[in-house]
Structure formats: C-alpha cells, structure tokens
Chain A
Amino acid sequence: MGTYIIRRTFDLLPTIFVVAVIVFIITRLIPGDPAAVMLGPQASVEDIEALRENLGLNDPLYIQFLQYMGNLATGDFGTSLTYNQPIVNLIMDRFPNTLILAVSALIIAFMVGVPAGIISASKQNSLLDYSVMLVSLIGVSMPIFWLGVMLVLYFSVNLGWFPATGMGTLDDGLIPFIKHLILPSITLATIPMATFARITRSSMLEVISQDYIKTARSKGLNEFWVICKHAFKNALTPLLTVLGMQISMMLGGAVLTETIFSWPGMGRLIVDAIDKRDFVVVQGTVLFIAVIFVVVNLLVDIMYKVVNPRVNYTTSKGGTK
C-alpha cells in the first residue's frame, strides 16, 4: 500500500506538468498583446511596454516557458496587478472559504443522495423508488445558478429565513455562520446529491442480486444489515469512481454558486478577476484548482483500493474511467 501511494504520487507529476502546459498555452493564445488587454484601452504605450517587460513577454517563448515552469515549481503563481498581491496569497485567502462550501455540500450530497439511492434500490419499482428517480433526474438536469437564484427568491427575499449573500465568520457565532452556509451549500450539493442517488441505486441493484447477498441472508442476518453492510460496501466502488468527477464539477459549480451568493471564495475571485481583466489571477487560480483536482483524484484512487481488496496494488489505474 505504501509503495502504491508513492508510485501513484509520482504518476501525478506528468499530469500536473500537462496541466501547467495547458495553462501556459491558453495564456499565450490571448489574441493581441496580453499586456494591452490587461491594462485596457486607456493604457499608454509606455505602460504597456513596461508591463510587457515585467511579464517577460519580450523574451523568446521557450525562455518564457522555462521561467513560468520554474516559478511554478517554487510555488510562485505570479503577481496580480489589480490586487497588488502575489496570487498565492489571494488563493490562500479564498481557498478555505471554498473548501468550507464544498465540503458542506459534499456532506449534504452524501448524506441525502446515498440513503435515497439505497432505499430506492431496496424498494425497486415502488412509488418511492419512482419518486426518488424522478427527483434525482431533475437534480442532475438542474442549472444550479438558477436554483441558487430561486432559493434566494423564496428563502431570503420572500421568507427572510436566510441571508441572501455573504459568508458569516465563526466569530459571529455558529448560528449566523450556518445560516449563511445553508443556501449556497444546498445549491452546490444538488447535482452530486442526485448523481449519488442514481449511482447508488443502480449499483445496489446490481449487488443485491449477487449470490453473496443470498449467503448473507441465509446466515440469518437481518435485512438492514445485509443491505447496509454486505451490499453497500460492494456498491461503494462505482460511487467512488464518480466521486472524483463530482468533486471536479463542484469546483466548477463553486464559481457559479459563489457568484450568486457573493461567497468570498476562489470562484468569486475568478469572476471578479475576469471583470477586472486580471488574467494572471484567472490563470493562476484555474491552475491551482486543476492541481487540487489531480490530488483529490489520487485520494479517491487510494480509497478505491481500501474498499476493494480485489484490486491488485501493483497494477496502475484503478478508478479513472
């Protein structure tokens, strides 16, 4: 297991390299002079030239690339002109907020979606099953930015139960903190919740018809135990394979959710930066999110091996398909 983790970690390096290259290429694809674009139409020629020099845009491309990779390797994502701060600092300011949002959404999605899928599968073709399936299909089809707006409309504007925007700090007490958190995390949880329900249901249905479930029943175990222990642990594998993808989608969804709720996270940072035409921030943040995703996938792969003793530790690639 230890060597497996180490080897998979080294496996990540090429992917991270490719991610960095992609971001570099996108940066250079900006039509026209990036410096001019960044500074906007009012900028003077001297300012633009100074910025070009500053950004290293006057160097040959391969030098720029080496420079860029070297900076990344030392954790330097560049400096924002509009915020006048290293991008790493901006990210470190915002990332915990996004993490809070994403983790609470993930918890909601898991705690609602998985049991819904289990119940649905164990009462296959019942009215309850159909309802869960219908609701979850609506869930996966949901434009969450609309859902967020609607939640604000009903629960903040009309009912006044929850604040429409912003994030509470824990200094203000737990209640306001949670009140701020509820609507955005429900918004962000919707799609993974529905996906978990669907995947759990279909893999539970597959597992429930297996012989070993009959064995478990023939031992005299009660049905709850058979389903939740014997069946669910086997059904977990497909759930884990979608988990990585869902986390990726949530990081994307966070951009929209944070915009609607003015949540001071990384998504909000990106959208603000786009408004301010501060592309360095956009690219740095996007790169950071991609790296996070790669690391999360490593963790998912490791979990995959933990729940699935059949998987051979020596072969690479488990969960990515």
Chain B
Amino acid sequence: MSLQSTVAAAEKKMAKPKKETSLFKKLIRNRLAAIGLAVTLFMSIIAVFAPWIATHPPNEMDVVSSLKIPGTDGHLLGTDNYGRDLFSRLVYGARISLIVGVSAVVFGAFFGTFLGLVSGYFGGKLDSIIMRTMDGLFAFPFILLAITLMTVLGQGLVNVIIAIGVANIPGFARIVRGQVLSVKEEEFIEVTRSLGATDGRILFQHVLPNCLAPLIVYGTMSIAGAIISEAALSFLGLGVQPPTASWGSILKDGKDFLVLSPHMATFSGLAILITVLGINLFGDGLRDALDPKMKI
C-alpha cells in the first residue's frame, strides 16, 4: 500500500463516527457549489417571475429612443436597436434559456436513458444497432447537429428544444449503457432474476436507480450546454422566432451595433456566462457529492 493510500485508509478510520450527511448539506458545505446553486436559483426566480420583474413589456418598440445607453429614461440597461428595454428583454430571455435548457435535456435524457437501458441490458444485435447509431450521432459536433436539425425543422421554440434534445440523446445513452453494464454484473441482479422478476421490473426497479447519480450529474451539466446551444442557435438566427427575446438573439443584434451600443452584446453575453457558470459550479459540486469518480 502506498503511503497515501495508507493515509486515506487511516483517515477514514479516524473520521468521526459517520452521520449520514444529506446531499443538501454536502452541497452547502462545498462553498462553490452553494454559490452555483444560488446563481441557478436566482436565474430561475427571474425566469418564473419575469412579468413582475421586467420594467417594460419586452417587445414594446420605441424607435425614437433606440440604442440608449444604460440608465437613460428608466431603462436600467438601456435600449436596443428598436428601442426595446434591454433589461426587460434579458429578464424574459432567462425564460427562454431555462425552458430550452431544461426541456431539451429532459427530452434527451428520456430517449437516451431508454436507449441506453435497452441497449446495455439486452445486449446483442440490438445493442450494436443502437450504439452504432449513437456513435453515428456522436460523430456530428453537438452544435452542428442542432444547426442541421434546425435547418430542417425551421425556427421556433419547440423546434429548438427538439433539435438540442436530439443532439443530447447519444450522450445520455452512452452514460446509461455504461452504468447498466456494470450494474448488470452485480450479484443482486442475478438473485432478483432467479426469484422470477421480469426484465421490465429488473430494469426499472434495480438497474435504473443505480444509474440515477451519474444521470443527475450529467443532466445538470447538459443543461448548461443546452443553454449555450440555444443561445448559439439564436445567435446564428436559427433559434426562437423574433421578436421573442432570447439572450442569443439579443447578442446577435448587439453584434451588429457593437460600435454604437456595446452594452447590448456585453450584457446579453454576461447573462449567458453567469447562468452557465452557476449551473456548472453546481454540477461540479453535485458530482463531487454523488459520484466523485465520474469524469466529465
């Protein structure tokens, strides 16, 4: 045994009698994770209560007072090229980001988990067909797959969710399949089977719960990725339909008026960065608490 592993073992031995620390406590103790959680909750609150927080209707145009700098005439963060209140648009943009982030990941997680479970559990031909397809999907850079799907589906909120959701499927499928393969070897599965449990029962009562920790961690990180992807699609003009406010589309407009009004680009991007950073911090903490060996 190496010195360090002796130490680790010794430290474990010396650790005070272990009280079951709840996940929540662990996360709070991890300061960065707590900050991440706070940021994520903050953004969620903004999204949910957007109509009360926004100072103006997000799509109300006022061409006369367009491209105003932050602070003018009650426009906290200024106005955009149509004279719309930037702060209010960013507040509403949080809705789009979070709706797409969560829905697309739920979409991808649902189908990915299903495929991964089936593939890993039954193995054989089915496994190779499913995993070959996943490998094929994986060959497309994530954002490129989403772009291609958007060119086919056309703009719109639901289509954005579908496109990013589909691009998320192979990642979940792989994670779940790997987990299933390792759980499948465990003795208790054999015992359960010998007691006459059906495949469906084994899958959902025994295998799936064992996949939960990595799924939660991977899912959290994927939400961050989905939010960036939505913004990227909107930035390319492939996202939600204008005039709906999305951080990506605000950034796109901001880029066109970069010299005149840098605040549009600056604030919309900051909103994306802060949200994604918050979720990633939280995800890191979740991983350390739930599944430290996981490498993402």
Are chains A and B touching directly in their complex (CB below 8 angstroms)? yes
Within 8 A of A (CB), among B220-252: 224, 228, 231-232, 235-238, 248, 251
Contact surface of B with A, Cβ cutoff 8 Å: 2-5, 132-133, 135-145, 147-149, 151-154, 174, 178, 224, 228, 231-232, 235-238, 248, 251, 254-255, 258-259, 262, 265-266, 268-269, 272-273, 276-277, 280-281, 284, 295
Q: Does A214 contact B (CB under 8 A)?
A: yes
Q: Would you call A141 and B251 a contact (CB within 8 A)?
A: no
Q: Would you call B143 and A137 a contact (CB within 8 A)?
A: no
- How far does the alpha carbon of A124 sit from the alpha carbon of B151 in the complex, in Å? 47
- How far does the alpha carbon of A251 sit from the alpha carbon of B152 in the complex, in Å? 20
Q: Does A51 contact B (CB under 8 A)?
A: no
Q: Would you call B258 and A145 a contact (CB within 8 A)?
A: no
- The contact of A252 among B142, B149, B151, by CB within 8 Å, is B142
Interface residues of B, dominant DSSP:
helix
12 A-B residue pairings within 8 Å (CB atoms): A14-B132, A15-B136, A29-B152, A31-B153, A140-B280, A141-B277, A145-B231, A145-B248, A248-B138, A286-B148, A289-B141, A293-B140
Q: Would you call A15 and B139 a contact (CB within 8 A)?
A: yes
Count of chain A residues with a beta carbon within 8 Å of a chain B beta carbon: 58
Give the nearest-CB partner of A142 in chain B.
B273
CB distance from B125 to the nearest CB of A (A): 13
CB distance from B231 to the nearest CB of A (A): 6
Among A68-76, A105-113, A150-158, A222-230, the stretch that binds chain B is A150-158
Q: Does A187 contact B (CB under 8 A)?
A: no
Interface residues of A, dominant DSSP:
helix
Whether A149 touches B140, Cβ cut-off 8 Å, given contacts A210-B2, A274-B147, is: no
- The contact of B144 among A27, A157, A252, A279, by CB within 8 Å, is A252
Q: Would you call B140 and A289 a contact (CB within 8 A)?
A: yes
Whether A18 touches B147, Cβ cut-off 8 Å, given contacts A152-B258, A286-B140, is: no
Give the nearest-CB partner of A154 in chain B.
B262
CB distance from A279 to the nearest CB of B (A): 6
Q: B277 to chain A: which residues have CB within 8 Å?
A: 137-138, 141
Q: Would you call B2 and A157 a contact (CB within 8 A)?
A: no
Q: A214 to chain B: which residues have CB within 8 Å?
A: 2-3
Contact surface of A with B, Cβ cutoff 8 Å: 14-15, 18-19, 21-23, 26-27, 29-31, 137-138, 140-143, 145-147, 149-150, 152-153, 157, 199, 202, 209-211, 214, 238, 248-253, 255-256, 259-260, 270-271, 274-275, 279, 282-283, 286, 289-291, 293-294, 320-321
CB distance from A101 to the nearest CB of B (A): 14
- The contact of A260 among B3, B153, B174, B255, by CB within 8 Å, is B255
Q: A270 to chain B: which residues have CB within 8 Å?
A: 144, 147
Q: A27 to chain B: which residues have CB within 8 Å?
A: 152
4 cross-chain pairs, A with B, having the tightest CB-CB distances, nearest first: A146-B269, A252-B141, A18-B136, A252-B143
Known contacts A141-B276, A286-B145; 8 additional CB pairs below 8 A are A22-B133, A137-B277, A146-B272, A149-B265, A150-B269, A249-B141, A253-B143, A289-B141
Q: A249 to chain B: which residues have CB within 8 Å?
A: 141-142
Q: Would you call B281 and A137 a contact (CB within 8 A)?
A: yes
Q: Would you call B140 and A145 a contact (CB within 8 A)?
A: no
Q: Would you call B2 and A18 a contact (CB within 8 A)?
A: no
Q: Would you call A290 and B139 a contact (CB within 8 A)?
A: yes
Q: Would you call A289 and B144 a contact (CB within 8 A)?
A: yes
Q: Would you call B136 and A143 a contact (CB within 8 A)?
A: no
Whether A293 touches B273, Cβ cut-off 8 Å, given contacts A26-B149, A153-B258, is: no
Whether A293 touches B141, Cβ cut-off 8 Å, given contacts A146-B251, A150-B265, A211-B2, is: yes
CB distance from B172 to the nearest CB of A (A): 14
Q: A294 to chain B: which residues have CB within 8 Å?
A: 139
CB distance from A126 to the nearest CB of B (A): 16
Q: B254 to chain A: which residues have CB within 8 Å?
A: 149
Q: Would you call A21 and B136 a contact (CB within 8 A)?
A: yes
Q: Would you call A255 and B147 a contact (CB within 8 A)?
A: yes
Q: B295 to chain A: which residues have CB within 8 Å?
A: 199, 202, 238
- How far does the alpha carbon of A65 sit from the alpha carbon of B238 in the complex, in Å? 28
